[in-house]
A = this chain, B = another copy of it.
Amino acid sequence: MWFRVEPGRGVPIYVQLMEQIRRAVASGVLTPGEQLPSVRELALQLSINPNTVSRAYQELEHEGIIYTLRGRGTFVATPSSTLTDRERLRRLDEAVERLLVEAYQLRCTPAEVLAAVKKKVAGMGGKDTQKGEIEHDDE
Report which A residues bind B (CB closer than 8 A). 22-23, 25-26, 63-65, 79-81, 83, 88-89, 91-93, 95-114, 116-118, 120-122, 124, 126, 128-130
Pair B103/A95 contact, Cβ less than 8 Å: yes
Pair A100/B26 contact, Cβ less than 8 Å: yes
B residues less than 8 Å from A128 (CB atoms):
109-111
B residues less than 8 Å from A26 (CB atoms):
100-101, 104-105
Give 18 CB contacts A-B under 8 Å.
A22-B101, A26-B105, A63-B105, A65-B105, A80-B107, A81-B107, A88-B107, A92-B103, A92-B106, A92-B113, A92-B116, A93-B116, A100-B117, A107-B130, A109-B129, A110-B121, A114-B118, A117-B117
